[in-house]
Amino acid sequence: SAVISQKPSRDICQRGTSLTIQCQVDSQVTMMFWYRQQPGQSLTLIATANQGSEATYESGFVIDKFPISRPNLTFSTLTVSNMSPEDSSIYLCSVAVAGANNEQFFGPGTRLTVL
């Protein structure tokens, strides 16, 4: 398994500002992901954070809006840029542990409210 921490756990931000969310894992993992979960919805994958190279973004998400860093195998950041109220959501960091089933583990999430 993997233990994942995220900072901040929650924040309230003004429109037009940016917030950087940190994700720390207690062990080295290859696969690291960022998800968004809006109220009453399931998880939507934003991007795969790749160590040493640019993140791989899913359809509808772009680097300018959600820049991601992955400096090593235990840490990643997601920035939500130029925020609007529509960005209010829970942002979750996740890792996949390689093995027979590639199980995924999630961080506790960052609850973002944009005013």
Out of 2, 33, 87, 89, name the contact with another protein by CB under 8 A.
33
Q: Which residues are within 8 A (CB) of 78 and not within 5 positions of it... i.e. 6 or more apart?
A: 20, 21, 23, 34, 46, 47, 49, 66, 67, 68, 91, 93
**Alpha carbons within 13 A on the beta-carbon side of 46:** 28
| Beta-strand relationship, 110-114 and 89-96 | antiparallel
Q: Is 63 in the site for another protein (CB under 8 A)?
A: no
Which C-beta is closer to another protein: that of 33 or that of 66? Answer: 33
Out of 41, 72, 84, 113, name the contact with another protein by CB under 8 A.
41
**Rounded Cα distance, 43 and 67, in Å:** 19
63-73 exposure pattern, b = at least 16 Cβ within 10 A, e = fewer: eebbbbebeee
Out of 5, 103, 113, 115, name the contact with another protein by CB under 8 A.
103
Which C-beta is closer to another protein: that of 54 or that of 82? Answer: 54
Binding piece for another protein, criterion CB under 8 A, among 15-23, 69-77, 81-89, 106-114: 106-114
Which C-beta is closer to another protein: that of 24 or that of 48? Answer: 48
Chain residues binding another protein by CB under 8 A are: 30-31, 33, 41-43, 45, 48, 92, 96, 98, 101-109, 111
